[in-house]
Amino acid sequence: MPADSATLLNVVATRVEDRGGERAIRAASVLFITVLTAAAAQISFPLPFTQVPFTFQPMVVLVGGLVLGSRLGLASQVLYLAAGIAGLPVFATSATLPPGLLRLIGPTGGYLMAYPLAAFVVGTLAEHQFARRYLSSVAAMLVGLAIIYACGTVWLAYFAKLQSGSAAVGLATALATGVYPFVLADLVKLVAAAGITPGLWRVIGTR
């Protein structure tokens, strides 16, 4: 049995007898997570002491990985970044952060560029049945969230740039402005969101 048979999407898609219908379900699911990631970016709250806004995107990325699996989870976030690079208004609205491609080299670029990797890793864990139980879903999402924080912090600390010049702030400041203000809220969201895939497995996966 292939590893990806353990994902919710694969269970749903393989129940469609028509091959074209199965591919359509997979494509629509990837697009749905991409659009949901973009929508979550619009629910953002700027904070006065940092250029990193509070958004709901990480939870969408992580749940998307649990549902789609590794390759399609990665694809959904690559598509999201491609839409942003193309100039579509999918990134969080900001008066200070640059638009389009420049957003990826700005202060929040590390977080954004970590989304495909986080979705891939969480999706890989889902393919090994981490999405079927609440505690294992929490564990998988914690791994993905750690990836997003690590990449975002390192980028903000050492590599971030704005059109006016370097925006790198050093590790201590990156932690103070890019991790500490957000980690508790993200953990609360994670604890709540981790129940989604086990619930879906109970409804869909056992039919």
pLDDT tens digits, one per residue of 125-156: 999 999 999 999 999 999 999 999 999 999 99
Q: Identify the band that residue 1 occupies on the pLDDT scale cut at 50, 70 and 90.
A: very low
Residue 54 φ then ψ, to 5°: -85, 120
Full set of structural domains in the chain with CATH: 3-205 (1.10.1760.20)
Q: Which two tokens stand for residue 104?
A: 């990826």
Say if CB 153 and CB 176 are below 8 A apart: no
Q: What is the DSSP code (8-state) at residue 166? A: E
Mean pLDDT of 155-160: 96
* Single-letter amino acid, residue 149: Y
Mean pLDDT of 156-172: 90
Q: How far is CA 61 from the centre of its chain?
A: 2
* 163 contacts: CB under 8 Å, gap ≥ 6: 98, 102
Q: What is the DSSP code (8-state) at residue 54? A: B
Quote the pLDDT of residue 173.
96
Cα(177)–Cα(49) distance, integer angstroms? 7
Could you give the percent of the chain with pLDDT greater than 70? Answer: 96
Report the relative pairing of strands 165-166 and 161-162 from DSSP bridges: antiparallel
DSSP 180-197: HHHHHHHHHHHHHHTTHH
Say if CB 65 and CB 29 are below 8 A apart: no
Mean pLDDT of 87-116: 92
Higher-pLDDT residue of 49, 196: 196
Among 7-11, 30-34, 59-63, which stretch is predicted with the lowest mean pLDDT?
Answer: 7-11
Among 69-73, 163-167, 190-194, which stretch is predicted with the lowest mean pLDDT?
Answer: 163-167
| pLDDT higher than 80, residue 205 | no
Q: What is the end-to-end Cα distance of the chain in Å, rounded?
A: 18
Residue 171 φ then ψ, to 5°: -65, -45
| pLDDT higher than 80, residue 177 | yes
Mean pLDDT of 178-190: 95
Cα(162)–Cα(143) distance, integer angstroms? 29
Looking up tokens 């791994």 gives 143
Stated as kind and residue range, the H or E segment containing 161 is strand 161-162
Mean pLDDT of 165-185: 94
Quote the pLDDT of residue 206.
58
Looking up tokens 């393989």 gives 14
Mean pLDDT of 3-30: 83
| Predicted structure pTM score | 0.93
Q: Is 68 left (phi over 0), alpha (psi -120 to 50) or beta?
A: alpha
